[in-house]
Structure 1
Amino acid sequence: MTQQNFSIEFFPPKTDAGVEKLRATCARLSELKPQFFSVTFGAGGSTQQGTLDTVLEIRSAGHDAAPHISCLGSSRDNLREILQRYKSHGIKRLVALRGDLPSGYGDFSSSEFHYANELVEFIRAETGNWFHIEVAAYPEMHPQAKSPRDDIDSFVRKVKAGADSAITQYFYNADAYFRFVDEVRKAGCDVPVVPGIMPITNYSQLVRFSDMCGAEIPRWIKLKLASFGDDTDAIRAFGLDVVTDLCDRLLDGGAPGLHFYTLNQAAATHAIWSRLNLSRG
């Protein structure tokens, strides 16, 4: 059986209290020995320094870390500088995304980059094979894609541009993931596609995030969560069951690993990991 790899995602904290909280979260989750931690990057590079600081702190604790890098609203010169900074610190893995326009930037057409495949091409042209490049995948279709075929074609372009592997948007329908992987394999892409996993701990927050990113919450899950009202313990217990079952099905079906969106919280990811009895190290 092919080695399955597991990774964990954080966002750069904006306050001293957030820094301390993330430090504790990282310490607890590092016990699980994930392959790497990734750190998100704000629209137009708005968290550039925070992303780098967080990545360097994770690395200083002895763990591999991968900064996200986005291109929409960024210039070639700015991205070139960021790439050189990452190289100078010995960072070898990136999560390359199109990203979002920063507030007040203007329209989409004014950006030097429009799509993630252009960013991947740029990284390869500037740095060769220095970086292992992760890109995004959307089992339920990117919310701005014109059609499912258009979405698959977009993913194929990123892989052909030089991506090494992919991490998906979170989802709760395993069939969507397996069908997506089948489609990209038929299109000639054989890179690993790692499912993104969002633990369920807060119903209103989950609905808000899902509306923003286009992830579907299956009707039966939504109704069940809504029925719990403000009973946070019931929501977390149900969410733990649902997401653990999803992970089990994905891994049993051949998924090459799991990538956990933690929202800088340790408890739910740690509990799911423990239930799955994932190998450590």
Structure 2
Amino acid sequence: MAFSHAQQVEALNERLCSLRDLNISFEFFPPNSPAMEETLWASVERLAPLKPKFVSVTYGANSGVRDRTHKVIERIHAETGLQAAPHLTLVDASDEELRQLARQYWQQGVRHIVALRGDVPEGQPNPNRYASDLVALLRQEHDFEISVAAYPEVHPEARSAQADLINLKRKVDAGATRAITQFFFDIEAYLRFRDRCAAAGIDAEIVPGILPVTNYQQLLKFANFAKIRIPNWLHHMFDGLEEDPATRKLVGANVAIEMTKVLAREGVGDFHFYTLNRAELSYAICHSLGVRPGV
């Protein structure tokens, strides 16, 4: 018996209403101005009642940004009760410095770290140290929960898709708990990547990273840097909205909601939202998935 499109949509929405075991998490970045700090903490306050599994805080490659990351982590722990997961990179720190940071975080009550290699500064040689080395180092220090990065459309520096997959397996074999993907808009690319991970023996959860779009030109810059394909339909969706931020928000929310609905139908139970320190769209998407305060 063939079902109409309307019946399929209704069945999907009914299934979403019945889901009760979805996990969400959010990414924030440390603010660099009083106005941005106000926006960040308003967003944390808005999203905290959704009871995310954790919230991550990005980490810069210089001491000033690192200090801001530490302060955000400390405040989240002190004021919200949320599990805060700092990003940690190894390109700009020695093993001993990383061990000291790991011990400091553990003493502060941090039990979850997002372990990344980090971007190599322009003009500097590849340090031949990788995220898998950082995962192993953290495992030697304490029993952290460790998230690592994954790339459905291949890391821009990888020699090949297979080499990138092997690198992810090294991170998981070293002790990573889960992999969080770079943002994407090609759902089939994510699903194929998830299948390839399973075939390669990667048993960690492959959590899709969702970027709700508010600024399309900024998105294009992000995508170009990370070599992420922007499909033609997305160009069409945002065409003509350069001077219409209110409509851009509505369109961005709709795109992300439809993506998460399809992914949930495909069995995805965890979502990680790149909030860019703004709560509105992430909150709306979570609401549409049935993730609500007190539920």
Question: Relative to structure 1, is the Cα distance of residues 269 and 186 closer, same or farther in structure 2, using a 3 angstrom cutoff?
Answer: same
- Give the counterpart of 1:117 among 118, 132, 149: 132
Q: How does 1:22-41 map to 2 (within 5 A)?
A: 22-41=40-59
The Cα shift of 1:279 comes to 5.1
SS of the residue aligned with 1:242?
Answer: helix
Corresponding residue for residue 33 of structure 2: 15
Amino acid at match of 1:54: V
Contact (CA 8 Å) 2:139, 2:175: kept in 1 or not?
Answer: yes
- Give the counterpart of 1:233 among 224, 238, 246: 246
Amino acid at match of 1:108: P
- Give the counterpart of 1:258 among 268, 271, 277: 271
- Give the counterpart of 2:94 among 75, 81, 106: 75
The Cα shift of 1:158 comes to 0.6
Per-residue deviation, residues 35-56 of structure 1 (Å, max 9, x unmatched)? 1111000125652211111011
The Cα shift of 1:229 comes to 3.2
Query: Is 2:209 aligned against 1:196?
Result: yes
Of residues 40-49 and 4-13 in structure 1, the stretch that sits farther from structure 2 once superposed is: 40-49
SS of the residue aligned with 1:101?
Answer: coil
Unpaired segments ≥5 residues, structure 1: none
Query: Is 2:112 aligned against 1:97?
Result: no
Return the TM-score normalized by structure 2.
0.88
Amino acid at match of 1:94: I
Unpaired segments ≥5 residues, structure 2: 1-18
Contact (CA 8 Å) 2:29, 2:69: kept in 1 or not?
Answer: yes
Corresponding residue for residue 69 of structure 2: 51
Q: How many residues align?
A: 275
SS of the residue aligned with 1:43?
Answer: coil
Query: Is 2:124 aligned against 1:107?
Result: yes
Contact (CA 8 Å) 1:44, 1:101: kept in 2 or not?
Answer: no
Contact (CA 8 Å) 1:134, 1:164: kept in 2 or not?
Answer: yes
- Give the counterpart of 2:168 among 155, 159, 167: 155
Distance in structure 2 (CA, Å) of the matches to 1:231 and 1:197: 22
Per-residue deviation, residues 96-141 of structure 1 (Å, max 9, x unmatched)? 01111346xx5233x3x521111111111233xx200000011111
Corresponding residue for residue 63 of structure 1: 82
Amino acid at match of 2:124: D
Contact (CA 8 Å) 1:108, 1:114: kept in 2 or not?
Answer: no
Q: 4+ residue runs of structure 1 moved beyond 6 angstroms?
A: none
SS of the residue aligned with 1:190?
Answer: coil
The Cα shift of 1:276 comes to 2.1
Corresponding residue for residue 195 of structure 2: 182
Identity of aligned residues (%): 40
The Cα shift of 1:59 comes to 1.0
Question: Relative to structure 1, is the Cα distance of residues 2 and 181 closer, same or farther in structure 2, using a 3 angstrom cutoff?
Answer: farther
SS of the residue aligned with 1:108?
Answer: coil
Distance in structure 2 (CA, Å) of the matches to 1:207 and 1:270: 23
Distance in structure 2 (CA, Å) of the matches to 1:222 and 1:151: 28
- Give the counterpart of 2:147 among 134, 141, 144: 134
Distance in structure 2 (CA, Å) of the matches to 1:2 and 1:191: 21
Distance in structure 1 (CA, Å) of the matches to 2:26 and 2:108: 21
Root-mean-square deviation (Å): 1.8
Question: Relative to structure 1, is the Cα distance of residues 2 and 18 closer, same or farther in structure 2, using a 3 angstrom cutoff?
Answer: closer
Distance in structure 2 (CA, Å) of the matches to 1:114 and 1:34: 32
Per-residue deviation, residues 5-37 of structure 1 (Å, max 9, x unmatched)? 110110011223322221111101112111111
